[in-house]
């Protein structure tokens, strides 16, 4: 066979191998449909806030932590390909130019060798296959970690958004309180000048006014920090935070019912629970592979080399060296490494069992805590709302007395401040209810309840 034909066959062989789906595995890409299933996008759309839904989608598209989580899945897949390579034969080709001199001859001559070799370990007992299956489990676990990252990150986006909406309302109320305290302070200054009230009362009114301004400054600082956080979560520049839209607090609505109880099936679908279950199976496969390390390995070796004193000349079957053989190898002494590896894998398996048990208990705790927080905070919100309604009714009654000249404007302003203070509590409690809904969403892994 001529060398050109041999070269063409070799090149064609390698092109086929490189295009093979076995060796050129396609990188997994988490598509949009999978991402939406991770976070249950319908759950967010049911909150009836298109602005929030837009932020959630931006988070899915731009958040750098989520992109890293997806890259880690791809990294795990490539690690699996490294393990899978041991199940396949290794083939190589080379070119070896040499200069030689024979005994009794004064001159030297050149030689060009074109070796092609192949080596294949027969996985008779399935040791390599078990390790590849273990990597498959690791890919499944990394998928669950990716899913957990998506749920956690969009939950952070939703909670941050609602806290910003809350602060918008609290700042609005605080500004009203500042205005009222300024008017109270001005009225008390006039009354003090007329000798109707003491200087101490006037100073206290001034201090209350200054505290109200300080409280406003704290609220605005908190909102700035949350806007910066929302920018990072959605992959935006914090410099654009002034343009971040949000719904008015008074327009917030939620139609989700509070479940009486939660099925155990929800817990069994949590990413951390599934990950612990998958890792338990993975360590089981690693133990099987460690046991098979004590068995012999079987190899097939092939070699063919075409030799010629001139490049691409006379490289044919007549001038070739060929070798085909096989063998079995059983290590007798490895310094205890195989025994140590088996014990190590068993130890990891026992750890995986304990992690699995703890994860199940922790999952139950987190779901129950989230449901408890939602119920108790909802009850507190309803009580605070009832108190606020009473304050509003009392303020209307006070307004009537003021119009009739029974009480002073100072009394009216003080009563109004009491009502505004209660409204701040209502705002906080109502926001907590929304955030606790997200907490239950996160604890149940975006389940439809």
Q: Is the pLDDT of residue 368 over 90?
A: yes
Closest CA to 367 of 213, 233, 262, 220: 262
Grade residue 12 by pLDDT with cuts at 50, 70 and 90.
very low
Grade residue 335 by pLDDT with cuts at 50, 70 and 90.
confident
131 vs 310: which has the higher pLDDT: 131
Closest CA to 435 of 269, 246, 252, 262: 252
208 vs 113: which has the higher pLDDT: 208
pLDDT at 310: 56
9 vs 322: which has the higher pLDDT: 322
Closest CA to 377 of 316, 428, 304, 338: 428
Structure token digits, residue 308:
């010629």
Q: Give 256-275 pLDDT, tens digit per residue.
A: 888 888 888 899 999 999 99
Percentage of residues in the chain having pLDDT higher than 70: 88
Q: How far is CA 78 from the centre of its chain?
A: 20
Q: Is the pTM of this model over 0.75?
A: yes
pLDDT at 100: 64
Q: Which of 168-177, 204-213, 300-309 is predicted least confidently?
A: 300-309
Over the range 234-256, which residues count as b (16 or more CB within 10 Å of their CB) and which as e? bbbeeeebeebebbebeebeeee
Structure token digits, residue 1:
């066979």
Q: Which of 106-110, 176-180, 318-322 is predicted least confidently?
A: 106-110
Q: How is 60-88 classified by DSSP, letter by letter?
A: HHH-HHHHHHHHHHHHHHHHHHHHHGGGS
CA 369 – CA 364 distance, rounded (Å): 8
pLDDT at 80: 87
Q: Give 154-164 pLDDT, tens digit per residue.
A: 999 999 999 99
Q: Give 54-66 pLDDT, tens digit per residue.
A: 999 999 999 999 9
pLDDT at 304: 80
Q: Give 24-49 pLDDT, tens digit per residue.
A: 445 445 788 899 999 999 999 999 99
Say how many residues make up the chain: 449
Grade residue 351 by pLDDT with cuts at 50, 70 and 90.
very high
Per the CB < 8 A criterion, the answer to whether 138 and 282 are in contact is yes
- Most distant CA pair in the chain: distance in Å? 136
Class of domain 31-62+123-295+330-443: mainly alpha
pLDDT at 311: 52
Running DSSP on this structure, what letter comes out for residue 449? -
Q: Mean pLDDT across the chain, nearest whole number?
A: 86
């Amino acid at each position: 066979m001529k060398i050109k034909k041999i070269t063409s066959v070799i090149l064609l062989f390698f092109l086929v191998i490189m295009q093979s789906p076995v060796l050129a595995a396609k990188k997994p890409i988490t598509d949009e449909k999978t991402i939406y299933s991770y976070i249950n996008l319908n759950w967010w759309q049911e909150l009836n806030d298109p602005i929030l839904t837009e932020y959630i989608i931006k988070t899915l598209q731009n958040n750098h932590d989520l992109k890293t989580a997806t890259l880690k899945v791809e990294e795990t897949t490539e690690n699996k390909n490294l393990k899978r390579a041991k199940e396949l034969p290794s083939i190589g080709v080379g070119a070896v130019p040499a200069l030689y001199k024979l005994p009794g001859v004064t001159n030297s001559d050149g030689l060009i060798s074109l070796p092609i070799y192949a080596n294949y370990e027969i996985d008779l007992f399935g040791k390599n296959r078990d390790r590849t299956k273990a990597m498959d489990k690791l890919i499944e676990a990394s998928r669950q970690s990716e899913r957990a990252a998506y749920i956690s990150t969009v939950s952070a986006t939703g909670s941050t958004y609602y806290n910003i909406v809350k602060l918008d309302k609290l700042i609005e109320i605080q500004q009203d309180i500042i205005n009222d305290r300024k008017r109270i302070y001005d009225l008390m200054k006039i009354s003090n000048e007329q000798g109707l009230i003491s200087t101490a009362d006037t100073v206290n009114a001034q201090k209350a006014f200054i505290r109200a301004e300080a409280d406003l400054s704290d609220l605005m600082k908190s909102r700035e920090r949350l806007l910066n956080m929302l920018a990072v979560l959605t992959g935006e520049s914090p410099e654009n935070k002034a343009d971040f839209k949000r719904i008015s607090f008074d327009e917030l609505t939620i139609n989700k019912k509070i479940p009486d109880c939660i099925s155990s099936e929800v817990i069994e679908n949590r990413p951390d629970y599934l990950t612990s279950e998958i890792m338990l199976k993975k360590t089981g496969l690693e133990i099987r592979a460690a046991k098979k390390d004590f068995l012999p390995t079987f190899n097939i070796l092939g070699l063919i080399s075409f030799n010629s004193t001139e490049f691409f000349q006379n490289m044919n079957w007549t001038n070739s060296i060929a070798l085909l053989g096989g063998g079995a190898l059983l290590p007798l002494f490895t310094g205890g490494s195989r025994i140590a590896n088996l014990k190590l894998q068993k130890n990891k398996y026992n750890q995986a069992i304990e992690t699995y048990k703890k994860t199940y208990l922790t999952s139950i705790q987190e779901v129950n805590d989230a449901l408890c927080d939602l119920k108790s905070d909802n009850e507190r919100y309803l009580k605070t709302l009832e108190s606020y309604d009473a304050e509003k009714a009392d303020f209307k009654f006070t307004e009537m007395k003021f119009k009739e000249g029974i009480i002073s404007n100072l009394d009216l302003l003080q009563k109004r401040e009491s009502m505004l203070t209660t409204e701040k509590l209502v705002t906080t409690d109502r926001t907590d209810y929304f955030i606790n809904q997200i907490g239950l969403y996160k604890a149940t892994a975006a389940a439809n309840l």
